[in-house]
Amino acid sequence: MVPLNHYLVLSGILFSIGTAGVFLRRNLITILLSIEIMLNAVNLTFVAVGRYHNTVDGQIITFFVMTVAAAEAAVGLALVIALFRHRETLNPDAFTALKW
Cα(89)–Cα(85) distance, rounded to whole angstroms? Answer: 8
- Nearest of 37, 31, 46 to residue 18 by alpha carbon: 37
Residue 75 Cα distances to 16, 72, 96, angstroms: 24, 5, 21
Cα(15)–Cα(21) distance, rounded to whole angstroms? Answer: 10
Size of the site for other proteins (CB under 8 A): 80
Helices (H), the chain: 4-24, 28-52, 57-87
Q: Report the nearest approach of other proteins to the CB of residue 22 (Å).
A: 6
Q: Report the nearest approach of other proteins to the CB of residue 91 (Å).
A: 7
Contacts of other proteins in 48-87 (CB under 8 A): 48, 50-52, 54-60, 62-64, 66-75, 77-82, 84-85
Contacts of other proteins in 2-41 (CB under 8 A): 2-27, 29-30, 32-34, 36-37, 40
Q: Report the nearest approach of other proteins to the CB of residue 46 (Å).
A: 9
Q: Report the nearest approach of other proteins to the CB of residue 5 (Å).
A: 6
